Amino acid sequence: MENGNDLIRVFSGTEMSVNLLKDELETNGISAMIQNDFQSGITAGFFGGGTSAVDLYIQESDFKNAEQIINEFLKSENTF
């Protein structure tokens, strides 16, 4: 991959939290990818990862645009 196009992990948490942040990023034009080892393991017929070990990745080149969205999301999560 070219510089700035590498995937970087920007958040780890529960499946629900990761999906909420992914939706928020994509609403703002930032593509995101989820890696859920627990769900992948169940689908393949074996256990892999924990239920709260879901990761969210974006392109490194999108990080500057995503940073404020991620920070606001983290603040909102801490208010519950």
Residue 15 carries which side chain, given as an amino acid letter? E
pLDDT 10s digit of each residue in the chain, 80 long?
A: 355 579 999 999 989 999 999 999 999 999 999 998 655 444 445 555 555 679 999 999 999 999 999 999 999 987 65
Q: Which of 75, 23, 16 lies closest to 51 in space, CA to CA?
A: 16
Name the pTM for this structure.
0.76
Pick the CATH number of 7-77 from 1.10.1200.10, 3.30.70.1530, 3.30.565.10, 2.50.20.10: 3.30.70.1530
Q: What is the pLDDT of residue 6?
A: 94
Give phi and psi for 69, each to the nearest 5.
Answer: -60, -45
